C-alpha cells in the first residue's frame, strides 16, 4: 500500500514538474539547435549535388501492381511507391543517363499483401531479377558497374533478404544480384547479413496527413509517464514465447502491467496519436524486426522514444542525433525500465524534448506528398549525394563480370 502511495506521489510530482517544465519551455526558446554537423546535414539541399536517372519499366513492375491493391499506398512499406513518384518530378532527375550519378529501378516489390494486409516477400526475388535482366539488356549502365551505381528501395522487414522470418532471411542472404547495389531499406541491425555496408536506412512509412490531422496543442501537458500500445506476445507465430521481440515485449508486460507509471496495453484506442502527445516516454521495442512505425510516431509527436532493440541501426543515423533525442535501453535491462526512466534528470528530459521539437527531426521522418524540404525523400538523396563521387574501382573492364546470375535458391531463378 505504502509503495503504491509513493508511486502515486511520484507521478503527481512528475506531472507538476512537467507542467512547470512545459510552461518554461513555452516561454523560452521553443526548439534547440542540434549541435555539431548533424543538424547542418539534415538541412542540406540535395539539388545540384547529384543526378538520378529513373529507368522506364513496363507498368507491370510498378503501377499495375498498385492498381490491383491500393492498400499498398498506406502500408508501412509505401516509401517505395512515393519515392518513385517523388523522383519522377524531382529536379535531381536527369533524362540523360550518360550524366547520371545514380540509377533507380522502380520496382514495387513489397506490394503483395495477404487479405489481412501482411506483406508477402516471396515473389520479390524473381521480380527484382526480372527487372535487372531487363535494364541490363536494354541499357549499358548496369553492365558497366554491375549495379554499383544503382540504388534500390527494399522496405521489407528483412530488406533484400526477402523473407519475413529472420532465420529464413539469414539463410537466404541478400539477393545475389543486388550485392553491388546501394540498398535503401528500413531494416537496420548491426552485424546482420541482411544489412551490408553502405545501405541507407530509412524510416517506415507513416501516413503524414493522418498524423497531421491528430495534432493537439503543443502546450498540452504531458501527464502520461510511459506509453505503449501494441503486442506483447505473438501467440499465433510464437506459441512458446521468447522468439517474438526476443522476449523484450513480454518482459515489459510482465514487469510493468500493474505499475501506474506505465500506460501500456494491447488495445489501440482512437486517441492513440493524441495520447502520444500527452506522454513523456514512448516505448519503441523491437517486434519481429528491430524497427516499427512507433519510432516515427514518437518523433513526430515529440514523445521521447525509448528504444529497446539491441544493435538497431536507426534511420539516417549519420544525420539525426538519435542519442540526443531518445533513450536506449538494452533488452536485458527491461526489468529495470522503471528505475532507468525515473532516474533521468528533468533537465535532460527537457533538453531531449527541445531537440525533438526541432522541425527538421520530424520532417526527416516523413514522406509527405507533395514532398517538402528536409523530408525523408531529401534525406535519402542527401545520403546518396554523400557517397559521391563514385570510386573509380566500381567500373568494370569491358567483358568483366563479378555477379553470379545463377547463385541463390533455385526457386528464385524461375521467370517472373
Ligand atoms: C550485359 O551483359 C549481359 C551478360 O553478359 C548481356 O547478355 C547483355 O547483352 C549485356 N547488355 C548490353 C546492353 O550489352
Ligand atoms: C554460380 O552459382 C552457382 C550456384 O551456386 C554455382 O554452381 C556456380 O559454380 C557459380 N558460378 C561461378 C562462376 O562461380
Nearest CA, atom 13, ligand 2: 404
Instruction: Indicate if ligand 2 lies below 6 Å from the C-beta of 407.
Output: yes
Residue identifier of the C-alpha nearest atom 11 of ligand 1: 137
Regarding the beta carbon of 114 and ligand 2, being less than 6 Å apart is answered no
Question: For position 242, what pLDDT does the model report?
Answer: 85
Round to whole Å and give the CA distance between 8 and 158: 42
Please tell me the predicted confidence (pLDDT) of residue 34. Answer: 56
d(CA 212, CA 155): 23
At 32 the pLDDT is: 59
Rounded distance from Cα 125 to ligand 1 centre (Å): 20
The pLDDT of residue 36 is 45
Taking CA atoms only, the protein residue closest to ligand 2 atom 2 is: 407
Report H helices in 216-262. Answer: 248-256
Which ligand lies nearest the alpha carbon of 404?
A: 2
Q: From the alpha carbon of 143, which atom of ligand 1 is closest?
A: 1
Supply the pLDDT for residue 168. 94
Q: Where are the domains of the chain?
A: 8-32+207-364, 44-205+370-390
Show the low-confidence residues of the chain (pLDDT under 50).
1-29, 36-37
Q: Is the CB of 413 under 6 A from ligand 2?
A: no
Residue 45 has what pLDDT?
92
Please give the distance, rounded to the nearest whole angstrom, from the Cα atom of residue 182 to the centre of ligand 1.
Answer: 21
> Residue 84: which residues within 8 A CB-CB, separation 6 or more?
54, 62, 104, 106, 108, 153
Pick the CATH number of 8-32+207-364 from 3.30.450, 1.10.287, 3.10.620, 3.40.50: 3.40.50
Atom of ligand 2 nearest to the CA of 405: 1
Sign of CA dihedral 247, 278, 32, 39: positive
Amino acid at each position: 500500500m505504502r509503495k503504491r502511495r509513493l508511486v502515486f506521489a511520484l507521478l503527481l510530482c512528475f506531472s507538476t514538474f512537467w507542467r512547470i517544465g512545459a510552461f518554461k519551455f513555452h516561454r523560452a526558446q521553443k526548439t534547440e539547435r542540434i549541435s555539431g554537423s548533424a543538424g547542418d546535414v539534415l538541412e542540406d539541399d540535395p539539388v545540384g549535388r547529384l543526378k538520378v536517372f529513373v529507368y522506364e519499366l513496363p507498368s507491370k513492375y510498378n503501377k499495375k501492381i498498385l492498381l490491383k491493391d491500393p492498400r499498398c499506398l498506406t502500408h508501412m512499406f509505401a516509401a517505395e511507391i512515393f519515392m518513385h513518384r517523388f523522383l519522377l518530378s524531382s529536379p535531381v532527375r536527369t533524362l540523360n543517363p550518360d550524366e547520371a550519378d545514380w540509377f533507380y529501378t522502380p520496382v514495387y516489390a513489397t506490394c503483395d499483401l495477404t487479405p489481412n494486409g501482411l506483406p508477402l516477400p516471396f515473389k520479390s526475388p524473381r521480380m527484382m531479377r526480372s527487372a535487372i535482366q531487363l535494364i541490363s539488356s536494354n541499357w549499358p549502365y548496369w553492365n558497366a558497374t554491375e549495379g554499383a551505381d544503382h540504388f534500390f528501395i527494399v522496405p521489407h522487414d528483412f530488406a533484400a533478404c526477402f523473407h519475413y522470418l529472420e532465420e529464413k532471411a539469414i539463410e537466404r542472404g541478400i539477393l545475389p544480384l543486388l550485392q553491388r547495389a546501394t540498398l535503401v531499406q528500413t531494416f537496420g541491425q548491426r552485424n546482420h547479413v541482411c544489412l551490408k555496408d553502405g545501405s541507407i536506412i530509412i524510416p517506415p512509412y507513416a501516413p503524414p496527413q493522418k498524423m497531421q490531422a491528430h495534432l493537439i496543442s503543443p502546450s498540452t501537458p504531458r501527464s502520461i509517464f510511459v506509453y505503449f500500445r501494441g503486442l506483447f506476445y505473438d501467440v499465433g507465430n510464437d506459441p512458446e514465447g521468447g522468439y517474438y521481440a526476443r522476449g523484450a515485449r513480454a518482459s515489459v508486460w510482465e514487469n510493468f502491467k500493474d505499475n501506474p507509471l506505465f500506460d501500456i496495453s494491447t488495445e489501440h484506442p482512437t486517441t492513440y496519436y493524441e495520447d502520444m502527445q500527452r506522454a513523456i516516454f514512448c516505448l519503441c521495442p523491437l517486434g519481429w524486426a528491430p524497427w516499427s512505425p512507433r519510432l516515427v510516431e514518437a518523433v513526430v509527436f515529440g514523445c521521447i522514444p525509448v528504444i529497446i532493440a539491441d544493435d538497431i541501426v536507426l534511420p539516417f543515423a549519420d544525420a539525426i542525433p538519435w542519442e540526443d533525442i531518445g533513450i536506449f535501453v538494452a533488452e536485458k535491462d527491461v526489468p529495470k525500465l522503471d528505475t532507468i526512466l525515473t532516474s533521468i534528470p528533468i533537465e535532460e528530459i527537457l533538453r531531449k524534448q527541445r531537440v525533438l521539437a526541432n522541425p527538421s527531426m520530424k520532417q526527416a521522418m516523413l514522406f509527405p506528398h507533395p514532398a517538402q524540404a528536409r523530408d525523408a525523400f531529401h534525406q535519402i538523396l542527401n545520403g546518396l549525394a554523400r557517397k559521391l563521387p563514385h570510386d573509380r574501382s566500381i567500373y568494370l573492364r569491358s567483358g568483366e563480370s563479378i555477379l553470379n546470375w545463377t547463385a541463390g535458391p533455385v526457386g528464385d531463378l524461375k521467370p517472373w
